[in-house]
Amino acid sequence: MPGQKVIYYVMVDNHSKLPYIEYGTNRLLKPRVVAKEARWQDISMMRMKTLAHMLQDFIKDEVDYVFCMDVDMDFRAPYGVETLGELVGQAQAWFMNSPNTEFTYERRPESKAYIEMGQGDFYYHAAVFGGTPSRVLDLVRSCYAGIMEDKKNNIEAVWHDESHLNKYFLEHKPTLILSPEYCWDYKIHTKMEHVKLAWAMKDYAEVRDNV
Protein backbone atom coordinates (compact mmCIF):
# COMPACT_ATOMS: atom_id res chain seq x y z
CA MET A 1 0.00 0.00 0.00
CA PRO A 2 2.50 2.65 -1.14
CA GLY A 3 1.69 6.08 0.27
CA GLN A 4 -0.82 4.77 2.78
CA LYS A 5 -0.68 4.24 6.54
CA VAL A 6 -0.46 0.50 7.22
CA ILE A 7 -0.77 -1.52 10.42
CA TYR A 8 0.48 -5.11 10.38
CA TYR A 9 -1.49 -7.30 12.78
CA VAL A 10 0.52 -10.52 13.09
CA MET A 11 -0.87 -13.51 14.98
CA VAL A 12 1.80 -15.63 16.65
CA ASP A 13 1.90 -18.30 19.37
CA ASN A 14 5.38 -17.22 20.50
CA HIS A 15 6.12 -13.51 20.52
CA SER A 16 9.86 -14.07 21.00
CA LYS A 17 10.22 -15.71 17.58
CA LEU A 18 9.18 -12.60 15.66
CA PRO A 19 12.20 -11.33 13.71
CA TYR A 20 13.39 -7.77 14.15
CA ILE A 21 12.37 -5.62 11.18
CA GLU A 22 12.83 -1.89 10.68
CA TYR A 23 9.58 -0.49 9.37
CA GLY A 24 9.27 2.55 7.13
CA THR A 25 7.22 5.71 7.55
CA ASN A 26 3.55 5.09 8.37
CA ARG A 27 4.19 1.41 9.08
CA LEU A 28 3.33 -0.13 12.45
CA LEU A 29 3.55 -3.71 13.75
CA LYS A 30 0.97 -4.98 16.25
CA PRO A 31 1.60 -8.63 17.13
CA ARG A 32 -1.14 -10.65 18.80
CA VAL A 33 -0.27 -13.76 20.79
CA VAL A 34 -2.78 -16.58 20.20
CA ALA A 35 -3.10 -20.06 21.64
CA LYS A 36 -1.23 -22.84 19.88
CA GLU A 37 -3.52 -25.40 18.29
CA ALA A 38 -2.72 -29.11 18.06
CA ARG A 39 -3.52 -29.36 14.33
CA TRP A 40 -2.75 -27.01 11.44
CA GLN A 41 -6.35 -27.44 10.35
CA ASP A 42 -7.50 -25.94 13.64
CA ILE A 43 -4.98 -23.10 13.36
CA SER A 44 -6.58 -22.27 10.03
CA MET A 45 -10.15 -22.58 11.25
CA MET A 46 -9.78 -20.90 14.63
CA ARG A 47 -8.28 -17.77 13.08
CA MET A 48 -11.87 -16.87 12.18
CA LYS A 49 -12.65 -16.65 15.90
CA THR A 50 -9.47 -14.69 16.62
CA LEU A 51 -10.15 -12.28 13.77
CA ALA A 52 -13.69 -11.69 14.99
CA HIS A 53 -12.40 -10.76 18.46
CA MET A 54 -9.64 -8.52 17.10
CA LEU A 55 -11.95 -6.74 14.68
CA GLN A 56 -14.56 -6.13 17.35
CA ASP A 57 -12.08 -5.12 20.07
CA PHE A 58 -9.85 -2.66 18.22
CA ILE A 59 -9.19 -3.16 14.49
CA LYS A 60 -12.55 -1.65 13.46
CA ASP A 61 -11.56 1.60 15.16
CA GLU A 62 -8.06 1.79 13.67
CA VAL A 63 -8.39 1.18 9.92
CA ASP A 64 -10.63 1.84 6.94
CA TYR A 65 -9.86 -1.49 5.26
CA VAL A 66 -8.47 -4.77 6.53
CA PHE A 67 -6.97 -7.80 4.79
CA CYS A 68 -6.42 -11.25 6.19
CA MET A 69 -3.42 -12.93 4.53
CA ASP A 70 -1.56 -16.15 5.17
CA VAL A 71 1.87 -15.44 6.57
CA ASP A 72 3.69 -17.72 4.09
CA MET A 73 3.55 -15.24 1.23
CA ASP A 74 6.10 -13.19 -0.71
CA PHE A 75 5.29 -9.70 -1.96
CA ARG A 76 6.76 -9.39 -5.47
CA ALA A 77 5.41 -5.99 -6.59
CA PRO A 78 3.49 -3.06 -5.10
CA TYR A 79 0.17 -4.22 -3.68
CA GLY A 80 -1.86 -1.05 -3.87
CA VAL A 81 -5.17 0.69 -3.38
CA GLU A 82 -6.59 -0.98 -6.48
CA THR A 83 -7.24 -3.98 -4.20
CA LEU A 84 -9.47 -2.05 -1.81
CA GLY A 85 -13.19 -2.67 -1.77
CA GLU A 86 -16.12 -3.17 0.55
CA LEU A 87 -15.80 -6.97 0.39
CA VAL A 88 -12.79 -8.45 -1.43
CA GLY A 89 -12.34 -12.05 -2.57
CA GLN A 90 -9.28 -13.68 -4.10
CA ALA A 91 -9.73 -15.97 -7.13
CA GLN A 92 -7.74 -19.15 -6.45
CA ALA A 93 -4.93 -19.50 -8.99
CA TRP A 94 -5.26 -23.24 -9.54
CA PHE A 95 -8.90 -22.94 -10.66
CA MET A 96 -8.58 -19.91 -12.92
CA ASN A 97 -9.52 -21.88 -16.08
CA SER A 98 -11.74 -24.51 -14.47
CA PRO A 99 -15.53 -24.92 -14.64
CA ASN A 100 -17.33 -24.76 -11.30
CA THR A 101 -17.99 -28.51 -11.41
CA GLU A 102 -14.25 -28.97 -10.78
CA PHE A 103 -14.11 -26.59 -7.81
CA THR A 104 -13.27 -28.37 -4.56
CA TYR A 105 -16.25 -27.00 -2.69
CA GLU A 106 -17.67 -28.94 0.25
CA ARG A 107 -20.17 -31.32 -1.37
CA ARG A 108 -21.64 -33.05 1.69
CA PRO A 109 -25.07 -31.64 2.58
CA GLU A 110 -24.41 -32.34 6.26
CA SER A 111 -21.85 -29.51 6.37
CA LYS A 112 -22.72 -25.83 6.79
CA ALA A 113 -20.18 -25.19 4.00
CA TYR A 114 -22.16 -27.30 1.50
CA ILE A 115 -22.42 -25.97 -2.05
CA GLU A 116 -24.58 -27.82 -4.53
CA MET A 117 -22.98 -29.07 -7.76
CA GLY A 118 -23.36 -26.48 -10.51
CA GLN A 119 -23.50 -23.51 -8.16
CA GLY A 120 -20.74 -20.96 -7.66
CA ASP A 121 -18.96 -18.47 -9.93
CA PHE A 122 -15.42 -18.65 -8.53
CA TYR A 123 -13.34 -20.72 -6.15
CA TYR A 124 -12.03 -18.28 -3.57
CA HIS A 125 -8.69 -18.62 -1.83
CA ALA A 126 -8.73 -18.18 1.95
CA ALA A 127 -5.10 -17.00 1.84
CA VAL A 128 -6.37 -13.50 0.96
CA PHE A 129 -9.66 -11.81 1.75
CA GLY A 130 -10.59 -8.38 3.00
CA GLY A 131 -12.77 -5.31 2.89
CA THR A 132 -14.16 -2.81 5.34
CA PRO A 133 -13.94 -3.92 8.99
CA SER A 134 -17.70 -4.31 9.31
CA ARG A 135 -17.99 -6.52 6.24
CA VAL A 136 -14.99 -8.65 7.20
CA LEU A 137 -16.36 -8.99 10.73
CA ASP A 138 -19.62 -10.34 9.33
CA LEU A 139 -17.67 -12.77 7.13
CA VAL A 140 -15.46 -14.21 9.88
CA ARG A 141 -18.34 -14.48 12.34
CA SER A 142 -20.39 -16.39 9.77
CA CYS A 143 -17.51 -18.72 8.91
CA TYR A 144 -16.74 -19.38 12.56
CA ALA A 145 -20.40 -20.15 13.30
CA GLY A 146 -20.43 -22.65 10.43
CA ILE A 147 -17.20 -24.27 11.60
CA MET A 148 -18.51 -24.69 15.14
CA GLU A 149 -21.85 -26.06 13.92
CA ASP A 150 -19.95 -28.63 11.86
CA LYS A 151 -17.84 -29.56 14.90
CA LYS A 152 -21.03 -30.16 16.91
CA ASN A 153 -22.21 -32.48 14.13
CA ASN A 154 -18.85 -34.28 13.97
CA ILE A 155 -18.02 -33.13 10.43
CA GLU A 156 -15.12 -31.08 9.08
CA ALA A 157 -15.37 -29.31 5.72
CA VAL A 158 -13.02 -30.60 3.06
CA TRP A 159 -10.92 -27.41 2.99
CA HIS A 160 -11.72 -26.25 6.51
CA ASP A 161 -12.23 -22.47 6.82
CA GLU A 162 -11.74 -22.03 3.05
CA SER A 163 -14.83 -24.15 2.42
CA HIS A 164 -16.87 -21.93 4.74
CA LEU A 165 -15.40 -18.83 3.08
CA ASN A 166 -16.59 -20.07 -0.31
CA LYS A 167 -20.07 -20.70 1.08
CA TYR A 168 -20.15 -17.18 2.49
CA PHE A 169 -19.09 -15.66 -0.83
CA LEU A 170 -21.73 -17.72 -2.63
CA GLU A 171 -24.39 -16.07 -0.49
CA HIS A 172 -22.71 -12.63 -0.15
CA LYS A 173 -21.05 -11.72 -3.43
CA PRO A 174 -17.73 -9.85 -3.14
CA THR A 175 -17.74 -6.30 -4.42
CA LEU A 176 -14.23 -6.88 -5.80
CA ILE A 177 -12.53 -10.09 -6.97
CA LEU A 178 -8.74 -10.09 -7.24
CA SER A 179 -7.15 -11.90 -10.18
CA PRO A 180 -4.74 -14.80 -9.54
CA GLU A 181 -1.74 -12.45 -9.94
CA TYR A 182 -2.62 -11.17 -6.48
CA CYS A 183 -1.98 -14.62 -4.95
CA TRP A 184 0.01 -16.64 -7.44
CA ASP A 185 1.57 -20.10 -7.15
CA TYR A 186 4.73 -20.53 -9.23
CA LYS A 187 4.12 -24.28 -9.25
CA ILE A 188 1.48 -23.59 -11.92
CA HIS A 189 4.07 -21.94 -14.15
CA THR A 190 6.90 -19.47 -13.64
CA LYS A 191 6.15 -17.09 -16.50
CA MET A 192 3.08 -15.33 -15.11
CA GLU A 193 3.61 -11.59 -15.49
CA HIS A 194 2.72 -8.86 -12.99
CA VAL A 195 2.61 -11.12 -9.92
CA LYS A 196 1.92 -9.03 -6.83
CA LEU A 197 1.86 -11.72 -4.16
CA ALA A 198 3.08 -15.32 -4.39
CA TRP A 199 2.94 -18.45 -2.28
CA ALA A 200 6.25 -19.04 -0.54
CA MET A 201 7.94 -22.33 -1.36
CA LYS A 202 8.00 -24.55 1.74
CA ASP A 203 8.28 -28.09 3.03
CA TYR A 204 4.92 -28.88 4.61
CA ALA A 205 6.41 -31.77 6.59
CA GLU A 206 8.78 -29.30 8.24
CA VAL A 207 6.31 -26.54 9.10
CA ARG A 208 3.31 -28.64 10.11
CA ASP A 209 3.07 -30.97 13.11
CA ASN A 210 0.59 -33.10 11.18
CA VAL A 211 0.59 -33.13 7.36
Residues classed as catalytic: 162
Q: DSSP letter string over the chain?
A: -TTS-EEEEEEES-GGGSPP----TTEEEEEEE-PPPSSHHHHHHHHHHHHHHHHHHTGGGT-S-EEEE-SSEEE-S---GGG--SEEEEE-GGGTT--GGGS--B--TTSTTB--TT--S-PEEEEEEEE-HHHHHHHHHHHHHHHHHHHHTT---TTHHHHHHHHHHHHS--SEEE-GGGSB-TTT-TT-SS--EEEPP--HHHH-S--
